[in-house]
Amino acid sequence: SSNDFFSPQTFHSSMHVTQKLELFPDHRLTQMLFKEVKNAAELRQSAMSGKINGALINPTMLVDPFQTLVAANKAVSLQKTGKMKTRSLYSEIIFNLSPTNNISEAFKRFGISDDNDSVLVALVHSEDESQLLTDIAAMVTGQQVPVEDISSLTDQEKIKKLYKITAQEEKCGTLLDAVVCRMATKDVM
């Protein structure tokens, strides 16, 4: 409905989702999802060289776009206090998704690999940057689909194993709850 376009909190186009980071009023997170991706290797190269200024995430490790939002909020917060564990905001987002403090493992699991056929692109930006989105979408050889479709790509069993979600824990909340809680508390566990 047209109301969605004027929601102050979340902007849903038919495809991407842009959300505010309330703690950082001039920062927004935009997520875009692509399926049937043919050029994952090239995209990964572009991200490493800085040609793509965004996080390229393996969508099979995401239960919900909320996971990326939680990771991005933490990354921006740590960037502003100079306490990031990795070299850039976008690598920090990928690192924050992981339940462990092992950086290379985080990239292996949550970053994209050359043989991935789907990718979630996460961008932190200041205002509506439709040009930026168009430019990045143009680099992907694949089909853009609504971000909400992520649940059809989720590998639940792999996620439960990686985050070590207990059966008891699943009884008291959703898988997303369990995952987000691990992400937010990993520094002290």
Residues in contact with another protein by the rule CB under 8 A: 9-10, 19-24, 44, 47-50, 52-56, 66, 69-70, 73-74, 77, 79-82, 87-91, 94, 107, 111, 166, 168-169, 171-173, 177-178, 180-182, 184-185, 187-189
Closest distance to another protein from the beta carbon of 24 (Å): 6
**Residues 6+ away with beta carbon under 8 Å from 93:** 55, 57, 68, 71, 72, 75, 122, 124
Closest distance to another protein from the beta carbon of 69 (Å): 5
**Residues 6+ away with beta carbon under 8 Å from 15:** 32, 33, 144, 145, 146, 147
> What is the DSSP-derived secondary structure letter of residue 126?
S
Closest distance to another protein from the beta carbon of 145 (Å): 21
Identity of the residue, 115 or 143, whose beta carbon is nearer to another protein in the bound complex: 115
Identity of the residue, 32 or 143, whose beta carbon is nearer to another protein in the bound complex: 32
Across 17-176, the runs of DSSP E, i.e. the strands, are 17-20, 28-35, 55-57, 119-125, 143-145
Sign of the torsion angle spanned by Cα atoms 90, 96, 99, 103: positive
Structure tokens at 184: 């937010």
Identity of the residue, 52 or 62, whose beta carbon is nearer to another protein in the bound complex: 52
Closest distance to another protein from the beta carbon of 57 (Å): 10
Identity of the residue, 38 or 51, whose beta carbon is nearer to another protein in the bound complex: 51
